[in-house]
Amino acid sequence: MAALKYSRQRESIKEFLAARTDHPTADTVYTNLRKTFPNISLGTVYRNLSLLSDMGEIIKISTGDGADRFDGRTAPHNHFVCRQCHRVIDLNMENIDSIMDVAGKNFAGSIDHYVVNFYGVCGDCITKS
Amino acid sequence: MAALKYSRQRESIKEFLAARTDHPTADTVYTNLRKTFPNISLGTVYRNLSLLSDMGEIIKISTGDGADRFDGRTAPHNHFVCRQCHRVIDLNMENIDSIMDVAGKNFAGSIDHYVVNFYGVCGDCITKS
DNA sequence: TTCGTTGCAAATGTTTTGCACCTGA
DNA sequence: TCAGGTGCAAAACATTTGCAACGAA
């Protein structure tokens, strides 16, 4: 049980994510943090993203389309992935947690979590076409 | 528009997937196909999995937990991922396509698809513990 | 003959890790 | 002081790709 110690880098990563609503990849976090920490390494970014995500202070999003993305907004919500511009957008939708009950009906295991990603074309891309 | 040509390898990959209900990774497909095609290469397996998935004859599953998995069952259904044994299990559940309508309500883009993965501990792992 | 397919190997992209040094408690 | 954190570089994975030879139409 490691006693977590303060680190300016970790704090900065958390702040960085909290301040954006897009969903940056580890590499984007790295590139931006270099402005504050010119010597920070990708390894450190990955280590801290992983730590923060384990602690539930950020969310890791796997879209199945390129690198994982990270979200500083921890309140439960779902994501939309644009197939055209590859952006990941927060959805402001009614709670659908009840799908866990539906899924659990004929299932022997225990379900405690789910991840939904919606796919299609985002508003901006539709306008531009 | 490439005119697809028959290939024993591709046919075999499709048959292999159709015959299993677990959800093998590309590497598992590769290892097993080597029994029939001792010289088949991983590249060929990936190329064909990608082709088949584009044609909708198999489904590619990204769980965010290790390598992608492939499913020969193309009828729409959802998956459960066991956090303990990492198995991916087909769920036999009521249709929940209506969540796309819910998601689309306050959203400017067009949603045509969604992927849900449920997480928890499977029946076998619960029994063993 | 033509053009998609294959095997092989090298390259790519993403993420993890070993290690010596640094730093917060 | 000392366990945890960092930077750096190498390693580990997963997947893609270039190319010459092969095979289906």
Kindly tell me if the per-residue pLDDT of A10 is higher than 80: yes
Per the CB < 8 Å rule, is A105 touching B116? no
How much is the pLDDT for A3?
86
CA distances from B98 to A118, B94, B105, B114 (A): 12, 11, 11, 11
Query: What confidence tier does A129 reach under pLDDT thresholds 50, 70, 90?
Result: confident
Say yes or no: Cβ of B93 under 7 A from any atom of strand D: no
pLDDT < 50 positions in chain B = none
> Which 3 state secondary structure label does DSSP give B64?
coil
Query: Which of A62, A100, A111 is nearest residue B64 as measured by Cβ atoms?
Result: A62
Chosen from A78, A81, A90, A93 to mutate, greatest number of chain B CBs within 10 A: A93
How much is the pLDDT for B1?
57
Distance in angstroms: CA B30, C1' D20? 23
Q: Which tokens sit at A112?
A: 């405690």
Query: Which of A62, A78, A94 is nearest residue B62 as measured by Cβ atoms?
Result: A62
How much is the pLDDT for A2?
66
Q: Which residues have C-beta within 8 Å of that of residue B31, sequence separation ≥ 6?
A: none
Give all domains of chain B, ordered by start, each with its CATH number. 8-128 (1.10.10.10)
How much is the pLDDT for A65?
84
Distance from CA of A41 to the nearest CA of B (A): 23
Query: How far apart are alpha carbons A14 and A4 in whole angstroms?
Result: 15
Measuring alpha carbon to C1', the residue closest to nucleotide C5 is B7
**Look-up: residue for tokens 């590309």?**
B26
How much is the pLDDT for B26?
98
